[in-house]
Amino acid sequence: REGNGTYNRMSVAVSDGDPAVITNISMVLIPPPAGAPVPERLTQRAAVAAWTAEIDKAASTGKFSGVWLWAKNSKAITSGARGKADREAGIDNTLDTRFRIGSMNKMFTAVATLQLVERGKLSLDDTLGKILPDYPNTNVASKVKVRHLLSHTGGTGDIFGPEFEAHRLELKTLQDYVKLYGERDLQFEPGTKWEYSNYGFLLLGVLIEKVSGKSYYDFVAENIYKVAGMTNSGSEPESVEVANRSKGYLRDQFKLVSNEPTLPWRGTSAGGGYTTAADLMKFADALMANKLLKAETLAEATRPQFTTGAYGFGFQIGRPDEARTYGHGGGAPGMNAILRVYPESGQSVIVLCNLDSPSASRIGDWLHARMPLK
């Protein structure tokens, strides 16, 4: 059980060898067990005071470095910043600091894909091969549909691992990833299983480029960032000097070190861009106001698309026994971030950190369990 009132189940897989080696660790959020204490819902004023105290406590013990923003109807209820954006230069985090957001870019990729569906340029049931007839693996091309990619049910696998490590700085375009991973086969029959797939969202970016005739980055900038008024978001390569972009710090033994040796050459449609808390509030507001997607499209994207029930089309979804929420988290070495949207009450909660997971998700979950839902 976390101190924020949430419960997790951790599974550890070990090899059969001697000595046994841990091969996988996974942790999933689970409903509170019967009879478990449930945090009390607080008034808005009390929640602000208690949440700020929780953040200060985490910051003072080195568990939080970043920003937070809790908003309702486009207005901030509370926001702030703690910690350093650049420890070497002594630069503080501020509300203008841009943070790397890992997989949160999947929301932008999903919205861009669904905009093309709304415009009749793409169908959820189009196969990969229909749009990309020269895709290297014909089995993948003939069976994987757009809806599978959006919902992590395509069996398309991941992009991170030894191959990525070996070619990290050579992977400069979305096509470079297809050249590296495009020949491998399916990990399971599409639609039969849910398994998080960064490569699936990489492929959505390739589809967006093919169908729109524009680069993935330009399409997202024009159709999402510009429409929502997001002026501080992007995915410029790491070699480009981006004003106010924080440095990330991962824990190595008992020290915090730069995450630079782990970063991709550039963020992709699977993740790796950067943004600010204010820009994410604008994104949440634009979604709720149906400026980015029609109401019926957003409803489909934010309902469970598989029996696991926790994922739609590019959006993570809250538990069915709680107030309806959608959004996404992002986590990688030296970065952690969350956006959670509460459409029925017009609220959004954003936490961005330049430390390892769960520095942001822990803070967001703490408020989620106690905030007023009206």
**For residue 234, pLDDT beyond 90:** yes
Per-residue pLDDT at 109: 98
The confidence band for 151, taking pLDDT boundaries of 50, 70 and 90, is very high
Listed residue (237, 244, 198) closest to 215, CA to CA: 237
Angle between helices 44-60 and 361-368 (to 10 degrees): 160
Across 344-362, average pLDDT = 97
Say whether the peptide bond before residue 264 is cis (omega within 30 degrees of 0): no
Q: How many angstroms separate the CA atoms of 80 and 373, rounded?
A: 21
Taking CB atoms within 8 Å and a gap of at least 24, the contacts of 238-242 are 238/263, 238/264, 238/265, 238/266, 239/265, 242/98, 242/274
pLDDT tens per residue, range 238-262: 999 999 999 999 999 889 999 999 9
Angle between helices 105-118 and 198-212 (to 10 degrees): 40
Secondary structure element (H or E) that encloses residue 284, with its range: helix 277-288
**For residue 47, pLDDT beyond 70:** yes
Task: Give one DSSP letter per residue of 69-84, joined into a string.
Answer: EEEETTEEEEEEEESE
Across 272-285, average pLDDT = 97
Per-residue pLDDT at 223: 98
Per-residue pLDDT at 13: 73
Q: How many angstroms separate the CA atoms of 11 and 22, rounded?
A: 11
Listed residue (70, 62, 45, 4) closest to 341, CA to CA: 70
Q: How does DSSP classify residue 41?
A: P
Kindly state the percentage of the chain with pLDDT values over 90: 84
| Max Cα-Cα span within the chain | 58
pLDDT tens per residue, range 8-31: 676 677 777 788 777 665 556 666
Per-residue pLDDT at 1: 46
Across 25-44, average pLDDT = 73
Secondary structure of residue 162 in the 3-state scheme: helix
